[in-house]
């Protein structure tokens, strides 16, 4: 029930990885023998699979250790190159922590950073965004699908607004890639961050899509042997990359069917909760959201206490990356939830291997635990 934190690896992905964990163990940078050629071929295949998913060219995909590295590379790398001419970066208050931290690093480096608020439904005010982009803006960074509340931003409009002002558009698509339709040309996306473990692939691998135009020149954040055409040095991991590619291929084939199935499942789950808990508060837009996500605040119930009472369920009260940080979710605070509402929140995520029987059982466990806690407090 916590698919936003990570997804289980699809067995078909593991099958694609196994040859590169055993017999085909070469270094892709070894260009003089068959072991290196085999490993390099794995990268080429995966690069094509990832590029196809978003309508990109193969040479525009650069493998990284994940979306966090890709986000750092995009924001810091672009501002380092273009910050003298256009020293302004625009992002959003509900972005993933790694984007906000990278933006803060850019601010410490002397660049101007605007962090825009969101509406109470979690969506960006596009008029406010348009006014914030000036001829000094180098980069606009807006997340595609929020990792906590699941809302889907209008990337096409964001991309159009950025392009009209001559700014580059970056999106953190870790929670969107392989789940919703993405097209870098139609959405005018110049840079996109991706993570494999959010779409049933292995952890430790992701990618940065970087449009092959001079305007996206950026400073590499890792120095070394010049792998990934000098953008990301370090020996590539063919097994992880092969798994990433296979996961992408599977997601592309099953995207529409999976989204529809999860939408039906989550609607049933939500109705069951609401029938017993009519005061449930849904966090984020009711419909403009990824169908596998539901974030709710439960009045009168402390989220941490609730989680301690439902050990049979794998749920979370917010982003996994922020679990070590005390205090209520900054995403929920950004949409106007008070501290009590934010502390009573649960993030529920379902995915490819979730069954309706599991959801029914989870709903029963959750409802019983909430009613018991409320009964104690009466």
Segment 139-181, tens digit of pLDDT: 999 999 999 999 999 999 999 999 999 999 999 999 999 999 9
Question: Residue 320's pLDDT is what?
Answer: 53
End-to-end CA distance of the chain: 29
- This model's pTM is above 0.85: yes
- Could you state, in chain order, the average pLDDT of each consecutive group of 10 residues for the chain (378 residues)? 97 98 95 96 98 98 98 98 97 98 98 98 98 98 98 98 98 98 98 98 98 97 94 96 98 97 97 96 97 95 90 80 67 96 95 97 96 78
Q: Quick one: tokens of 63?
A: 């493998």
- Residue range(s) of every CATH 3.40.640.10 domain in the chain: 11-250
Which CATH number is 11-250's, of 3.40.50.300, 3.40.640.10, 3.20.20.80, 2.60.120.10? 3.40.640.10
Question: Residue 317's pLDDT is what?
Answer: 80
Cα separation, 334 vs 144, whole angstroms: 17
Cα separation, 186 vs 353, whole angstroms: 31
Please, how many CA atoms are within 13 Å of residue 174, restricted to the half-sphere of its CB? Answer: 30
CATH architecture of 255-377: Alpha-Beta Complex (3.90)
For residue 139, give the nearest of 195, 194, 215 by alpha carbon: 215
Q: Residue 254, exposed/middle/buried by CB under 10 A (0-12, 13-18, 19+)?
A: middle
Q: Which residues contact 300 (CB under 8 A, 6 or more apart)?
A: 344, 374, 377
Neighbours of 253 (CB within 10 A): 10
Q: What positions carry a catalytic annotation?
A: 321
Question: Residue 176's pLDDT is what?
Answer: 98
Q: Quick one: tokens of 50?
A: 């990832």
Question: Residue 375's pLDDT is what?
Answer: 82
Q: Is 191 helix (H, G, I), strand (E, B) or coil?
A: strand
Cα separation, 211 vs 189, whole angstroms: 8
Radius of gyration of the chain measured on its C-alpha atoms: 21
- Residue range(s) of every CATH 3.90.1150.10 domain in the chain: 255-377
Question: Residue 321's pLDDT is what?
Answer: 54
Cα separation, 220 vs 72, whole angstroms: 10
Question: Residue 9's pLDDT is what?
Answer: 98
Question: Residue 327's pLDDT is what?
Answer: 75
């Amino acid at each position: 029930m916590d698919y936003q934190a990570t997804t289980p690896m699809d067995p078909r992905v593991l099958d694609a990885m196994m040859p590169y964990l055993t017999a085909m163990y070469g270094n892709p940078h070894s260009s003089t023998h068959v072991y290196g050629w085999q490993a390099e071929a794995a990268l080429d295949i995966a690069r094509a699979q990832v590029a196809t998913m978003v309508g990109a060219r193969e040479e525009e995909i650069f493998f990284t250790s994940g979306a966090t590295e890709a986000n750092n590379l995009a924001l810091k790398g672009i501002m380092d190159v273009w910050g003298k001419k256009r020293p302004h970066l625009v992002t959003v208050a509900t972005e993933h922590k790694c984007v906000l931290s990278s933006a803060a690093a850019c601010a410490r480096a002397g660049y101007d950073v605007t962090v825009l608020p969101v509406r109470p439904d979690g969506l960006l005010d596009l008029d406010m965004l348009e006014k914030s982009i000036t001829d000094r803006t180098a980069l606009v960074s807006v997340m595609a699908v929020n990792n906590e509340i699941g809302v889907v931003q209008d990337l096409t409009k964001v991309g159009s607004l950025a392009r009209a002002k001559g700014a580059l558009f970056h999106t953190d698509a870790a929670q969107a890639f392989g789940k919703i339709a993405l097209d870098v040309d139609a959405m005018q996306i110049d840079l996109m961050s991706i993570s494999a473990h959010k779409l049933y692939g292995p952890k430790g691998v992701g990618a940065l899509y970087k449009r092959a135009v001079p305007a996206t020149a950026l400073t590499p954040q890792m120095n070394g042997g010049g792998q990934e055409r000098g953008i990301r040095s370090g020996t590539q991991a063919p097994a992880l990359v092969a798994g990433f590619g296979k996961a992408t291929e599977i997601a592309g084939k099953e995207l529409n069917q999976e989204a529809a199935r999860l939408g039906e499942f989550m609607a049933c789950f939500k109705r069951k909760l609401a029938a017993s808990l009519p005061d449930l508060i849904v966090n984020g837009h009711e419909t403009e959201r990824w169908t596998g996500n539901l974030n709710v605040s439960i009045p009168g119930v402390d989220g941490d206490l609730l989680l301690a009472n439902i050990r049979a369920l794998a749920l979370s009260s917010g982003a996994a990356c922020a679990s070590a940080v005390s205090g209520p979710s900054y995403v929920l605070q950004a949409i106007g939830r008070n501290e009590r509402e934010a502390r009573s929140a649960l993030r529920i995520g379902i995915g490819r291997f979730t069954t309706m029987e599991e959801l029914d059982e989870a709903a029963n466990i959750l409802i019983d635990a909430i009613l018991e806690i409320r009964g104690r407090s009466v």
